[in-house]
Structure 1
Amino acid sequence: MRPAPAVFALLLLAACGAPPSVAQTPGQPLETRSPNAPDQKPAFPGQTRAPFATAKVAFDVVPVAKGLDHPWGMAFLPDGRLLVTERAGRLRIVGKDGALSAPVAGLPPVDARGQGGLLDVAAGPDGLIYWTYSEPREGGNGTAAARGRLSADGAKMEAVQVIWRQTPTLDSTLHFGGRLVFAPDGKLFITTGERSILPGRHQAERLDGTLGKVVRINPDGGIPADNPFVGKADAKGEIWSLGHRNIQAGAINPATGRLWTIEHGARGGDEINAPLAGRDYGWPTITYGTEYSGAKVGGGITQKAGLEQPLYYWDPVIAPSGMAFYNSDLFPAWKGSLFVGSLKDQQLVRLTLDGEKIVGEERLLTDLKERIRDVIVGPDGSIYVSTDDSDGRVLKLVPKS
């Protein structure tokens, strides 16, 4: 049973006190569970099982909003209000007082079965609102992206345009990907999944479709002329990178201006990548971990010439969703950290970086016992997380009072 709001308002969830699955001992690997693929070895030192590293930051967890139905994506409006998507197909606005608006009218229908529904949302630099969703189609569904203008009263979305559709259409309720990331140059990255079923998995490394890809488009849906496969026969011009499984986290690294992504592995093998133009990240030819049955994926290999290695991986998995680089002054000790939501372990993961190397890992919100779906940094420097539940919440981390 949850504490009453007045009690919970300044409930401190300490940065230590992890469950028995991890051992937060400085200098020792944080992950102590047996890997699902014990015979697989990392390609380079530090690629997995980083040591525990804490910045010893004390914080309070403050509730922002409650009563959300499986919230998925969050984005701040310029006036400080918060957009939140609910997977069933509703876009809500959280006022500064925590009040939830009625669902914003005017969004296209979604196929809200399984992992599908209304997914990410972003406030574009052009003043428009962008979102991804699983689009119902004849013969199945697919990830799509749309944009529109929020009416002055916030009640409806106007001038809605679908700017991108994943192809081909498949009949699956899994692996839609769906994160939206605006690059510093104004281009829009869209992360996708390969839909899990074998007909989709086998297309993740093909160029004639956008299953299992990172896509890069102009905000109006046009294809940038400098994309890596523009003009190549039998290739989709919007493809940026390929060989991905199901990317549910993406953010721009402020230190480099480059996109970073995190994708779900199967039974083991959640990956952090910094996808480069035209590169193949290996799924399903190479991967860490195994099938859910315990069988090998493909030939069970983890390295192959011409295929990229992840910067970091987890085995066993944490089921990552949502990520944010921290570059604000509210928590000086956390500057330069990467925060990742965990659905499976129900924690907030903080990673210490040294350039593009992950050199430390810490688990926060270990007592929350709720799936973390999204992580963003607010304009006030607080860290906001959403919890994936039928009575989902938005919470924020603030310095301990």
Structure 2
Amino acid sequence: MEFLSGIVRRMELVTLERIQAARELLKGVTRVTPMEHARDLRRLHGGPVHLKCENLQRTGSFKIRGAYTRIHGLTEAERERGVVAASAGNHAQGVALASSLLGAKSTVFMPLRAPLPKLAATRGYGADVHLHGALLEETLRAAIDFGERTGAVFIHPFDHPDVIAGQGTVGLEILEQVPGVKTILVATGGGGLVGGVASAVKALRPDVRVVGVQAEEAAAYPPSLAAGAPVRLSTTSTMADGIAVGEPGPVSFAHVESLVDDVVTVSEQFLSRAVLLCLERRKLVVEPAGAATVAALLQHPGIFEPPVVAVLSGGNVDPLLLLQIIQHGMTAGGRYLHLRLRVPDRPGSLVGVLSCVSELGANVLDVEHSRISGSLDLGEADVVLALETRGPEHCKEVEVALSNAGYTVV
């Protein structure tokens, strides 16, 4: 471990000049994505909060920046052999579009259960797609094997200096769009984006704090940084599949260890609340991984010095998953209330409960009424309510009102 740590520390980091060259290369290829002012988050942090909308980038995420920079850097002979990549979605689309623009054949391996919209988009950008493996690691192995058999160049999703340089162009844009920024939050999986942003920002504004954000159930960087070298997680389980990376690469780890000020984690509850907030208040479709920075703003109020810029790294989310996330986020945010009441078993009791709920302005989504539960006393009935409310305070108001009306809230 000490030997590996020494190699990581001696590794040459991506320079500002290399990132600036990538920016010139990307002109006309990528968009300078907008910066939105999030006024509703300002009160949590005592100053301005801005959202860097990479979810509005070409292919729906920042990945096109690094993919194009990497593939452009290949020799003509390498490009003629084609490129291969493995991804659950965003990197796949970035490699597919970049390859098409540069005239290289691309082959992309995706997991068997890759969302259909991401699969269709990757094929739409011109890639030859193979579905392989239930886990991304199996997909990755298949892509590497394909490259070894055919000579296609493997395009790593994060662990290459060209990829990091391309992603670093996000940092240059942030400094120009919000010159007074004090803290930059970046969703972090393998570390290519946060490493690139930190490389650009620290070269020009070393006083700015760059903070990586990981999902609690897929946070490889805290133990890796503590050990001084990449550490492999035994499992990852998060809705934020775009940052569910089980082990940092040596190149990206070197950048994060040297340049990133801190890495914080966020829960599944706050990830879903962040997706919902972006959709409801900002009118932005953001995938869970892309909304991890907003989750950090919600879960850790007051710890980030403003002005804050939170990078929304991607917006490619399957509509079916988005529906589930919205429901999860509404529950986590106190917008749904599930109650079990013990009521007298006589005509009119259920009407009384529903009338009380109606007067309080809660919307009934579902009702279950039972007279035969083994836990009931004679003359009692169970009523289970699923309600839509205006938030946590309204939930408490409903519970108190029902109790005051004589119903037992179990």
Q: Report the TM-score, using the length of structure 2 for normalisation.
A: 0.28
Q: Report the structure number with the largest CA radius of gyration.
A: 2
User: Greater share of helix residues, 1 or 2?
Assistant: 2
User: Greater share of strand residues, 1 or 2?
Assistant: 1
Q: Report the TM-score, using the length of structure 1 for normalisation.
A: 0.28
